Amino acid sequence: AKIIPEVSRTFNEYLLLPNRTRIECSTETVDLRTPLVRHVPGEAPAIELLSPFTSAIMQAVSSPELAIALARNGGLSFLHHNQPIEDQAAAVRQVKRFKAGFITSDTNVRPDDTLGHLVEVMRRTGHSTAAVTEDGTATGRLLGMVTSRDFHPQRHALDQPVSSRMTPIAELPHAGHEVSLSEANAQLWDQRLDCLPVVDEKGHLQHLVFRSDYTDNKRFPHQSVDANKRLRVGAGINTHDYQERIPALLEAGADLLCFDSSDGYSDWQRNALTWVKKHYPEIPVGGGNVVDGEGFNFLAEAGADFVKVGVGGGSICITRDQKGIGRGQASAVMDVAAARDEFRERTGEYVPICSDGGLVHDYHVALALAMGADFVMMGRYFARFDQAPGAKLPTRDGFVKEYWGEGSNRARNFQRYGQGDRLIFEEGVDGYVPYAGDLNEGLALTIAKIKATMVSCGSMTLPEFQATARLTLVSEQSFQESHANVSLRDTAATAV
Ligand code: MZP
């Protein structure tokens, strides 16, 4: 065997050094725009992200609801392929139905619609809260509030009228008073609600009034949109049924594809990439996962439009325990980033790379970007939010959400693992993650931290950050020094 002399390192072993911060470099001026697909340097890529986040190609993560919320915040989801082709295509359609800058009262809600329909509309449009009025006009009386996260299809009779599930009137200060459309909008802002379904006296929906920021894009200035202002969405594919799956996904409107495999350095993936490039040359398709320059070059030369990096570092992954395969994520990202830059020099084409899995703290995202990743993919991070599909369960101290690996018995995603046509042994676990509320709020906090980090490093763009960031290795002693060393009154939440 050949022994690679460098130690395999991970994010916890590094810190960033501050660089000079110029006056014009502030969190307002930092731009997180990043290329998503292969392009000629100096020319605009066909697809770019306005924030460098993608959600993992996993059952427990990338649902249509999450895809809508993430696209509205400038990122992108890859809807998972561990489901029948028709179901994945329907999920793509669900996201593509949503129009950015959504206009009021146009949701095709019929007068005889019920609670189930309201929940479906809220989920489809990416809203998690709504207020209910008493009568069938936009100037009706506010009665109470409904929250889609309170509903569970198995537990609630969704054929009931909307009014049967409302939070008591007392929680809305102006409840019971007549409100005009502009007052309704003010209510939506005050209550941090997304939309106001207007119902008739039986509680049946008439139409929805959306908070005005959804119509003028003030709250979501960075939405990921392509043709017709539709939100962008990607779709995961595998090397087994891609010839049938891809046409259905493209027909449904998928903007780009990504081969999803725990080991992308394979002839299977090269052949599948070649097939896609021959039949659908205009559709961007990513490949992975790899952990070194050799794997990157193999996929980039086969036509991959971006390459995902990471084996064995995912929070639910036990591949390293089971098969002894993998590499510390920091070493993997830096090695592949060097190969990407060498590929650009050699071919004149830039193939973006994605750091996938193993990001435990918000600052790990900044480290991955500084080390050369163009964007990141996260599972655990997104699984914690309301919009993720896992059930939200009460615990003694609060709530958790379910999160399970694609290599677990629960997911049974044999297409992702090279074990033949069934999963012989598990490579992932089935567990829980702490519940973290609404994606919009959680991601805004993470973005704020990354921008603040970049300001400290004197960088206003990601390419500048990659080029000028200075990293230092930390000893175990200095790692200890990094944390608070007093008894805490309150615990600071640092883990993502
Ligand atoms: P994390 O963000 O939860 O740490 O890692 C998510 C990543 O782990 C996914 O994007 C995927 O590459 C990988 N993954 C998904 N399922 C498994 C598994 O069951 C896994 N082993 O490793």
Residue located nearest, by CA, to atom 13 of ligand 1? 314
| CA nearest neighbour of 253 among 96, 69, 57, 86 | 96
Task: Kindly list the catalytic residues.
Answer: 317, 416
* Two structure tokens written together for 410: 């629960």
- CA of residue 286 to ligand 1 center, whole Å: 16
Tell me which of 317, 361, 410 to substitute to probe ligand 1's pocket, judged by most ligand atoms within 8 Å of the beta carbon: 317
Atom number, ligand 1, closest to the C-alpha of residue 377 = 10
pLDDT for the residue numbered 85: 97
Identify which has the larger pLDDT, 180 or 312.
312
Please tell me the distance from the alpha carbon of residue 354 to that of residue 260, in angstroms, as a whole number. 13
When mean pLDDT is compared across 76-85, 282-291, 474-483, the lowest value belongs to 474-483
> What is the CA angle 301-307-308, rounded to 5?
150
Q: For residue 347, what pLDDT is reported? A: 98
Q: Which residues are annotated as a binding site for NAD(+)?
A: 260-262, 310-312
What is the pLDDT confidence band of residue 135, given thresholds at 50, 70 and 90?
Answer: very low
Q: Out of 12-16, 94-98, 303-307, 401-405, which region has the weakest mean confidence (pLDDT)?
A: 94-98
- For residue 311, the one-letter residue type is V
pLDDT value at 241 more than 80: yes
State mean pLDDT over 2-19: 96
pLDDT at 256: 97
Minimum-distance ligand 1 atom for the alpha carbon of 407: 19
For residue 134, is pLDDT > 70? Answer: no
CA of 429 to the centre of ligand 1 (A): 10
Q: Which of the listed residues 262, 323, 409, 410 should we mutate to test ligand 1's pocket, taking the one with most ligand atoms within 8 A of CB?
A: 262
Look at residue 110 and tell me whether its pLDDT is greater than 50. Answer: no
Using CA atoms, how far apart are residues 142 and 158, in angstroms rounded to an integer?
21
Pocket of ligand 1 (CB under 6 A): 56, 58, 289, 310, 314-317, 319, 356-359, 377-381, 405-408, 427-428
* Residue 399 CB neighbour total at 10 angstroms: 15
Separation of CA 310 and ligand 1 centre (Å) = 9
Lowest mean pLDDT among 82-86, 422-426, 487-491: 487-491
Return the residue whose CA atom lies nearest to atom 22 of ligand 1: 317
Closest CA to 288 of 221, 240, 236, 227: 236
Is residue 191 pLDDT above 80, yes or no?
no
Task: Answer whether the bond into residue 409 is a cis peptide, omega within 30°.
Answer: no
Closest-lying ligand 1 atom to the alpha carbon of residue 360 = 4
Q: How many Å lie between the centroid of ligand 1 and the Cα of residue 315?
A: 6
**Under CATH, to which class is 115-216 assigned?**
alpha beta
* Residue from 93, 63, 89 nearest 77 by CA: 63
Q: Lowest-confidence range among 102-116, 253-267, 461-475?
A: 102-116
The ligand 1 atom at the shortest distance from the C-alpha of residue 382 is: 2
Measured in Å, residue 102 CA sits from the centre of ligand 1 at 33
| Residue 15 DSSP SS3 | strand
**CA–CA distance, 167 with 272 (Å, rounded to integer):** 51
User: Nearest C-alpha to atom 20 of ligand 1 is from which residue?
Assistant: 317
Q: Among 307, 308, 406, 419, say which to mutate for ligand 1: greatest number of ligand atoms within 8 Å of CB.
A: 406
User: Residue 397 to residues 149, 215, 219, 492: CA-CA distances in angstroms?
Assistant: 19, 38, 32, 16
ipTM of the complex: 0.99
Which amino acid does the sequence have at 62?
A: S
For 209-229, the pLDDT digits (tens) are: 655 544 445 556 676 777 666
What CATH superfamily is the domain 11-83+227-480?
Aldolase class I (3.20.20.70)
Q: What is the largest CA-CA distance in the chain?
A: 78
**290-293 contacts at long range (C-beta below 8 A, 24 or more positions apart):** 290/264, 290/265, 290/332, 290/336, 291/326, 291/327, 291/331, 291/332, 291/335, 291/336, 292/327, 292/332, 292/335, 292/336, 292/339, 293/335, 293/336, 293/338, 293/339, 293/342
Residue nearest to atom 10 of ligand 1 (CA): 56
User: CA nearest 92: which of 283, 282, 226, 253?
Assistant: 253
pLDDT of the residue at 94 = 83
Contact by Cβ (8 Å): 273, 243: no
Give binding residues as ranges: 260-262, 310-312, 314, 317
Task: List, as residue ranges, the binding site for K(+).
Answer: 312, 314, 317
Query: What separation in angstroms does the CA of 250 have from each of 89, 148, 225, 479?
Result: 8, 30, 16, 47
Residue with tokens 């004149």: 348
d(CA 473, CA 259): 33
Q: What angle do CA 454, 457, 463 make, to 5 degrees?
A: 65
Residue 493 CA to residue 9 CA, distance in Å, equals: 25
Q: Is the pLDDT of residue 440 over 80?
A: yes
Q: What is the position in ligand 1's atom list of the atom closest to the CA of 383? A: 3
* Lowest-pLDDT range of 45-49, 364-368, 445-449, 486-490: 486-490
Q: Do 144 and 171 meet the contact criterion of CB atoms below 8 Å apart? A: yes
- Between the CA of 421 and the centroid of ligand 1 the distance, in Å, is 20
| pLDDT reported for residue 216 | 44
380 pLDDT tier (thresholds 50, 70, 90)? very high
CA distances 219 to 80, 86, 444, Å, are: 28, 33, 11
Contact 64, 127 (CB under 8 A): no
pLDDT digits (tens, 9 = 90+) for 452-489: 999 999 999 999 999 999 999 999 999 889 888 888 77
Rounded-to-integer distance, Cα 487 and Cα 466, Å: 37
pLDDT score at 358? 97
* pLDDT, mean over the chain: 84
Ligand 1 centroid to residue 405 C-alpha, Å: 6
Q: Given pLDDT bands bounded at 50, 70 and 90, which one contains residue 389?
A: very high
- Each domain of the chain, given as residue ranges in start order, spans 11-83+227-480, 115-216
Instruction: With beta carbons less than 8 A apart as the criterion, state whether 354 and 306 touch.
Output: yes
Residue nearest to atom 7 of ligand 1 (CA): 357
Under a CB-based contact definition with an 8 Å cutoff, are residues 408 and 298 in contact?
no
382 C-alpha to ligand 1 centroid (Å): 12
Q: 301 versus 169: which is more confidently predicted? A: 301
Closest approach atom of ligand 1 to CA 308: 12
Which has more pLDDT, 47 or 162? 47
pLDDT score, position 184 = 61
Backbone region of residue 104 per phi and psi (left: phi > 0; alpha: psi in -120 to 50; beta: other values): beta
**Residue 397: what pLDDT?**
86
Confidence of residue 181 (pLDDT cuts 50, 70, 90): low
For the chain, first and last CA: distance in Å? 38
Mutate which of 53, 238, 307, 356 for ligand 1 pocket (most atoms within 8 A of beta carbon): 356
Higher pLDDT pick, 178 / 342: 342
| Helix, strand, coil percent values for the chain (each to nearest 5) | 35, 20, 45
